[in-house]
Amino acid sequence: MSEVLAYLAQKDFSYKLRGNEATLNCPFCGDQENKFSIHTEKGVWQCFHLNRCGLKGSLRELKRRLGDIEPIIYKPKTYKRPQAAGSVPTDKLIQWFQKRGISSETVKAFRIRSKNSTIIFPFSKDGHLVNQQYRTFDKRTWQEKNAEQVLFNRDRVPEEMTELVIVEGMIDCMTLDQLGLPNVVSVPSGASNLAWIEGEWGWLDRFDTVYLCLDIDPAGERASLKIAKRLGQWRCRRVRIPFKDPNEWLGKGMTKEMFMEALIRSEDMGPAIVRMAEDFFKELLEEEPEGLKTGFPIFDKILGGLRQREVTVWTGRNGDGKTTILNQLALNFLTCYYEQKVCMASFEMRPAWLLRWMCYQARIILSEGGLKEFAKITDGRLAMIDTQQEISPDELIEAFEYLARRNGMQTFIIDSLLRVNLGGGPDWLEKQRAFMNRLTQFALTYDAHVHLVCHPRKGVSDVAKIDKVDIAGSGDISNLASNVISIRRIQSDKEGDPAAVLEVMKNRQLGRLGAISLAFDGERKRFSEIRR
């Protein structure tokens, strides 16, 4: 029995089970219509009395609301203050610091001590010794047990300072202090340990600007971002120097002026998505890149071509020509744009059948000689996802990312959404929205264009015009798409009537909408525009 069902039994709730979904009366709103649904494996739940209740959440949240989880009570930490260890620095220790450019006066100013060839760095808070870090000459380090985590040198920062420099090591802190910077502190135990932030929260609040000069390596980059998010990205700046850390730079001739220049050049650490209008002015002067031409001139004039970094939704009834026209577009891209590479993920037709259609469209005879001609068109630029079974979003995106990164593919066709296994349950619409967001992000990341075939919902008339709201599933499919296009067969034997109508129902970039009449060549399986 799952944890969810065990909990429902514990609460003596009556429920009906349908697959992985249990429905029952909502315990919060007096429901008598079994409007409360909970997934028996994942524990997500919702009351579908949306107007008067609409609560939803996780299994833990359900238990909390029903009084079965006690609130977490915060207990302040207690620390052990150490006794000062060691004695005044030995000549050997002074020489060790001097080799690193640190003078004996600086060592004394920081009250560095030594014991049995071990360096002892004292950590003070409000005049009290709260921690000591030990370092041997062969770089082994350790701290006092159960000691408070505070910033090294924080007591020596003058009260009037409104800017703070944080470095990653005590020696780096001593280096900059010796150059004449009185407002430098060091994290207590490497980049990854951020336990000091909680205890130093009030003290750090006084600084308007915090310069993060952690080591120039992956660990320093990760820690800088985490610290900025905790302390406030609006006041943090990332300092980049030409060497791994300030002490190494000192050995290469760094001066105070050089470091101050690095502070001036430091980078804002605000969210990457926040930029000022002026940042885009250069882009405004650049010519807007044209989208790929489809081989349908009127359609291209309306849509502006098929642009990179977009997702286009194609809809239409069964047999109206969605697969045919997408096959034709893929062939046109391969024929007219040598740099274009296409991936076709058709889960409704075997790759061999799609390629057969493409040969008909290209007027290629199915023979060994004809296939050699076809190979000149494909030329390693056409990939096929070879499965006619349902596929998970993760598996599909993984395949797309592989092709985008390894082969540089930019056009991806999914036929259709119906064969992407998004799972069921009460959150199926949310899963569709999440999948659309993943496709959009993929297109943006890899400068790609994704074509997604979506069927109309059941009950749509076989002859009526299809609108965006007729797409089956979540309204976010069309909301999140860059373009929405429908193709509709015309049932008419009248001479001169079109075989189909291609309609641009959404065009986010240009806003132009319109319908195009199409003729169809059944022998070649090709559509063409009718120009009136």
* CATH code where residue 424 lies: 3.40.50.300
Q: What is the model's pLDDT at position 384?
A: 97
**Domain with 203 in it: what CATH number?**
3.40.1360.10
pLDDT higher than threshold 90 for residue 84:
yes
CA angle 507, 510, 513 (to 5 degrees): 50
Our count of domains for the chain comes to 3
Among 46-60, 378-392, 400-414, name the one with the lowest average pLDDT: 46-60
What's the pTM value of the predicted model, to 2 decimals? 0.60
pLDDT in tens, 346-395: 998 999 999 999 999 999 999 999 999 999 999 999 999 999 889 999 99
Binned at pLDDT 50, 70 and 90, residue 165 comes out as very high
Q: Are residues 124 and 37 in the same domain?
A: no
Read off the pLDDT band of 190 (50, 70, 90). Answer: confident
Residue 70 lies in a domain: no
User: 311 and 202 in one domain?
Assistant: no
Alpha-carbon distances, residue 11 vs 2, 4, 15, 35 (angstroms): 14, 11, 11, 18
pLDDT in tens, 34-44: 999 999 999 99
97, 60: one domain: no
Mean residue pLDDT across the chain: 92
234 and 338 fall within a common domain: no
| Average pLDDT score over residue span 187-202 | 91
pLDDT digits (tens, 9 = 90+) for 221-241: 999 999 999 999 999 999 999
- The conformational region for residue 101 under phi > 0 = left, psi -120 to 50 = alpha, else beta, is left
H-helix segments, 112-255: 170-179, 196-204, 218-231, 246-251
CB distance 385 to 420 below 8 Å? no
**pLDDT score at 495:** 81
Same domain? 36 vs 126: no
Residue 512 has pLDDT above 90, yes or no: yes
Same domain, 326 and 457: yes
> 440-489 pLDDT, tens per residue?
999 999 999 999 999 998 766 666 788 888 898 888 999 999 999 999 99
Instruction: Copy the structure tokens of residue 523.
Output: 């022998």
CA–CA separation, 44 and 42 (whole Å): 6
Higher pLDDT, 312 or 283: 312
Number of C-beta neighbours around residue 165 at 10 A: 28
Domain range for 109: 91-268
Residues 377, 332: Cα–Cα separation, whole Å:
10
Model confidence pLDDT, tens digit, residues 96-146: 999 999 999 999 999 999 998 899 999 999 999 999 999 998 889 999 999
Q: Are 506 and 483 in contact (CB under 8 A)?
A: yes
Is pLDDT of 70 > 70?
no
Residues 43 and 155 in one domain: no
Identify the pLDDT of residue 183. Answer: 98
**Residue 64, both tokens:** 């909390």
What is the structure's pLDDT at 372? 95
For the chain, the 3-state helix, strand and coil shares in percent, each to the nearest 5, are: 35, 20, 45
CA distances from 409 to 292, 324, 334, 344, 394 (A): 14, 21, 12, 11, 18
